[in-house]
Structure 1
Amino acid sequence: MKDGISFARLSEIDPNDIAVHMSDPRVAEHMPLLTFEWNVEVAREFIAKKEGYWARDGLGHWAFLSGGRYVGWGGFQKEGDEWDFGLVLRPDAFGLGKRIAKMAIDFAIADKRIPFVTFLLPPSRKNLGALRKLGAKHIGEIEYEDAQFLKFRLDTE
């Protein structure tokens, strides 16, 4: 735990907390794939899907806690041969993104399964300084599920 921040499994979080988080329009602003309404049942399905990645790959998305309180979710998801990193915070926790991302990237650096990490960001994201400070390099634009994304890569070896 660093600065009161810890990682937990999404299955340890009340699905209602995740549904409320993902229903906030400030969260959806930079999530082009968020085209549906969240409710408790959608959150339960989301948790089950993310837990399935843990079973398949031995790694997946976490819930992020600050002082024991749920502040968002994210982590690593295997996409083909690549480990993609995502981070989705509650609006009242946006300021924790840099610290949480650093903790996750430190985890990736220590994990020999992860020679590099990719990041997909929507073109609406203009402030990319923190990503560049991590050392991530822009490698192009891709289409994923009918949406455009900027793709970055960070070598971890």
Structure 2
Amino acid sequence: MDAKIFLWKNIVTRFGIPHTFISDNSLQFDSKAFRRSTGETPFSMTYGAETVIPVETKFPKLKTSSFTSSNNDRLLEKSLDLIEEQRENAMIQLAYYQHKLKQGYDLNVKLRPLTPGDLVLRKVLGTAKNPAWGKLGPNWEGPYRITSIAGIGASYLEDLDENVIPRP
């Protein structure tokens, strides 16, 4: 579960679906949750074919019994032609998956518009941060009271002693 979250937050959301995965062949990417987002395994997205584990070669199956070297080369050339289409399908599946996740999230979000008189906190931005505190300094300051709405997402504020804050 941790590998899926890491991959999603740090790779896919920042850069999109990767062209190539390099793995140490452990099982962190082998989960139904990972496949649900793209509909494909990372190996098949990278190499254009599903994996065959050594145990499968010992037992006769259609996949392993019909294997010939010359036929394999021809099939690999065909699958290379189709790999872009497979990636596009994975992108479509990923967009659909993200849409469904957003719908599920939006069902639980209740909008609460801010009105004059509400108490809020203000984010401490770059120049207002004390460099001596480093990363342990506060991220928010306040509380402040909203006096009026300046625009979409912007408000005029005053502290609890009714001192006006200069910029919205």
TM-score category of the 2 structures, normalised to the smaller one: under 0.3
Q: Which has the higher contact order (CA 8 A, sep 6+)?
A: 1
Max Rg structure: 2
TM-score (norm: length of structure 1): 0.22
TM-score (norm: length of structure 2): 0.21
Which has more strand, going by share of residues?
Answer: 1
